[in-house]
Amino acid sequence: MAPQTVTVTAPGHHGFVRRYIFSTDHKIIGIQYIVTGLVMALLGAALAALIRLQLGWPDRTWPWLETLLPEGFRSGVMAPEFYLAVVTMHGTIMVFFFISFVLVSGFGNYLVPLHVGARDMAFPFLNMLSYWIALLSALVLILSFFVTGGAAAAGWTAYPPLSAIASAVPGSQMGQSIWLLSMALFIASFTMSGLNIVATVLSVRAPGMSMMRMPLTVWTYFVASILGLLAFPPLTAAAVMLLFDRHLGTSFFLPSGLIVANKLVPATGGSPLLWQHLFWFLGHPEVYVLLLPALGVASDIMPAFTRKPIFGYRMSVYCLMAVGALSMIVWGHHMFVSGMSPFSGEYFSLVTLTITVPMTIFGVNMLASLWGARLQLASPMLFVCGVIALFGSGGLGGLFLGNATADMQLHDTYFVVGHFHMMIGGVTLLATFAAIYFWFPKMFGRMMNETLAKAHFWLTFAPFFTIFFMQHFLGLQGAPRRYYAFTAFDYLQKTRGQNLVISLAAFLLVSAQFLFIINFVWSLAKGRVAEANPWRATTLEWTVPSPPPHGNFESVPTVERWAYEYGVPVAGGDFAVQTVPGDEAPVTA
């Protein structure tokens, strides 16, 4: 294939709006996603604080919150319907509008073209469109707080009939429809973005960039995007069907003889489990869509601070493929006690636990990458250590939940909450911070403050681990999730102290994020000016100025080696960037 002709336009050429607002430049779009996602994260964190406020002090009143949120805190007490809306929106926002935006779409957009040596994504216009649709979906979601009945309150899993019948819970009035609309927009945008990433990896890699020379980051985005493309359409179908059930009188998910609020619902013969199958067919791959990029980003940050290649690159790539394939056929492990046939339960249990094999190999490869390292614990590396730790504890928790027999006791308890927060909450959160501290100099041309960043790590990891580790044991005690309070049950009385500790840790965690915000904003304006390659790293983005110009590379780079050429004897250093020819430094792969 002949490289296409490219005109690199001079900066400041098309005016502010074209360059920074309606830009087709993948770097600007990536930053737009990241900033939007961080703003949504603030909202998500505020909602988490409200949840912990309620669970930590279930019998206190908060008159000052009533002035702030008159609907949610009537006479100073959090209303149960508001609590459920907060839980639902916290989950939705964090999964789809924080981690998906910042880590998957944001860093995916920013890094993939740079990493494969392309000037832009394969379809730049589609890319811009995907961001604006994503932003619209976020705004639509926020809007749902202000409609009659409040935001959706059936959980992020939106199980019908609760989510289908307006009188079942206040959030199922208008809020649920808006939630579904927002999801449909999000899916449209995410599909465009995923399609773009796959096409970019397949079609615009620089000469010499064979698949097995790609950094793991690119591999993870590639696998995650394919999963997204395959798994999201069924959720679209399910969302359409649920909307029809809600507004057009069909009964896809509604069985006969339902009596809600003392009224017979006219629906007949539908199947609530059908929704669960369709939802989890998306839902399970979706967690890998979030998790894999976190692992890829962490793997690629590591060697810059260990000064040696990552361990077992090839094996890690194969593991990614295996995990991707397996993740499509294990959705039923979310439904062990749903009334699904016990025989399917055994099947899903066995297949689910197969995933531990590639994931263990991948995780231990990350750990083994520290073996023999000359370690520099700069802030991105600190967060990567946190990623490895949380991936270990989160993954091990999965052994309980993938096991149908153990899941009978643990299903829908706080064990599940602790587990998935470790994985798609913690691994992704810490990887996101690692990525921001690592690539901030490339994005904005300035370094972030190292002292604040290190303080941020300590004050994030410690409370985060405390919260979600303790929640596993709440689950073992039988504390169900999505409870507004644990006061009504005798057997849960002894969890009060634990919930108080968890809430205190949660407030510490949320407060610590201000260190990050201050650092981010301050560094944008006043940070030390960054060189082109401040971390002495090897991937292609470090060969261009910080920030890279529109079009990234002056001429399409030729790739001579893999992305992990560290610890090699080179004049004036110990590493070779991917473009360094073979006669200047030995080539490993």
Q: By C-alpha distance, which of 532, 535, 544 is closest to 566?
A: 535
In the complex, least distance from residue 280 CB atom to another protein, rounded to whole angstroms? 12
* Cβ contact 195:96 at 8 Å: no
Q: How far is the CB of 56 from another protein (least distance, A)?
A: 15
Scanning residues 268 to 307, which ones bind another protein (CB under 8 A)? 268-274, 277-278, 281, 306-307
- Interface segment toward another protein; rule CB under 8 A; list 423-431, 485-493, 512-520, 539-547: 485-493
The candidate with the shortest Cα–Cα distance to 216, out of 285, 301, 288, is: 301
* 366-372 own/partner pairs: CB under 8 Å, 24+ apart: 366/295, 366/298, 366/299, 366/302, 366/310, 366/311, 366/391, 367/392, 368/311, 368/312, 369/299, 369/302, 369/303, 369/306, 369/308, 369/309, 369/310, 369/311, 370/302, 370/306, 371/311, 372/308
Q: Are 92 and 155 within 8 A, CB to CB?
A: no
Among 47, 370, 502, 585, binds another protein (CB under 8 A): 370
Our CB check for another protein shows the closer of 7 and 555 to be 7
User: Is residue 570 classed as helix, strand or coil in its secondary structure?
Assistant: strand
Our finding on whether 444 is near another protein (CB under 8 A) is: no
Backbone torsions φ then ψ of 498, nearest 5 degrees: -60, -40
User: Are 151 and 85 contacting, i.e. CB atoms less than 8 angstroms apart?
Assistant: yes
| Rounded least distance, CB 521 to another protein, Å | 26
Contact (Cβ atoms closer than 8 angstroms) between residue 448 and residue 527 = yes
- Least CB distance to another protein at residue 13 (A): 7
**241 lies in the binding site for another protein (CB under 8 A):** yes
Of 97 and 232, which CB lies nearer to another protein in the complex structure? 232
- x/- track of binding to another protein for residues 82-121 (CB under 8 A): --x----------------------------------xx-
Among 107, 221, 438, 483, binds another protein (CB under 8 A): 483
**Which of 63, 76, 207, 257: binder of another protein (CB under 8 A)?**
257
**Which one, 78 or 178, has the nearer CB to another protein?**
78
Buried b (16+ CB within 10 A) or exposed e, 192-229: bbbbbbbebbeebbbeebeeebbbbbbbbbbbbbbbbb
Task: Considering the complex, state which of residue 64 and residue 343 has its C-beta at the smaller distance from another protein.
Answer: 343
**Which of helix, strand or coil describes residue 194?**
helix
Asked if residue 207 binds another protein (CB under 8 A), the reply is no
Distance, in Å, from the CA atom of 447 to the CA atom of 266, rounded to the nearest integer, reads 62
SS3 468: helix
Q: Does 337 bind another protein (CB under 8 A)?
A: yes
> Is residue 252 within 8 Å of 244, Cβ to Cβ?
yes
Among 229, 452, 508, 587, binds another protein (CB under 8 A): 229
Least distance in angstroms from the C-beta of 69 to another protein: 17
Binders of another protein among residues 528 to 557 (CB under 8 A) are: 550-551
Q: Which stretch binds another protein (CB under 8 A): 42-50, 236-244, 520-528, 531-539?
A: 236-244
Q: Which region among 3-11, 174-182, 422-430, 436-444 touches another protein (by CB under 8 A)? A: 3-11
Query: How far is the C-alpha of 422 from the C-alpha of 468, rounded, in Å?
Result: 7
Q: Which of residues 15-44 bind another protein (CB under 8 A)?
A: 18, 24-25
CB of 39 to another protein, least distance (A): 26
Q: Which stretch binds another protein (CB under 8 A): 66-74, 339-347, 504-512, 519-527?
A: 339-347
Position 227 contacts another protein (CB under 8 A): no
Nearest to 307 by CA among 378, 235, 404, 258: 378
Report, in Å, the least distance between residue 41 CB and another protein: 24
Number of residues interacting with another protein: please give it, by CB under 8 A. 157
- Binding of another protein by 191 (CB under 8 A): yes
Question: In angstroms, what is the minimal distance from the CB of 235 to another protein?
Answer: 8
- Least distance to another protein, CB of residue 38, Å: 26
Q: Tell me, what amino acid is at 37?
A: G
Give the interface segment with another protein, choosing from 43-51, 131-139, 160-168, 524-532 (CB under 8 A): 160-168
Which of 136, 147, 476, 504 is close enough to bind another protein by CB under 8 A? 476
CB of 498 to another protein, least distance (A): 10
The encoded tokens of residue 239 equal: 């969302």
List the structure tokens of 572.
């004036």
In the block, tokens 């100073």 appear at 76
Compute the distance between CA of residue 356 and CA of residue 402 in angstroms, rounded to an integer: 10
For position 185 contacting another protein by CB under 8 A, the verdict is: no
Q: Is residue 240 within the footprint of another protein (CB under 8 A)?
A: yes
Binds another protein (CB under 8 A): choice among 32, 193, 349, 538: 349
In one-letter notation, the amino acid at residue 189 is: S
Asked if 420 touches another protein (CB under 8 A), the answer is no
Tokens matching residue 80: 């149960």
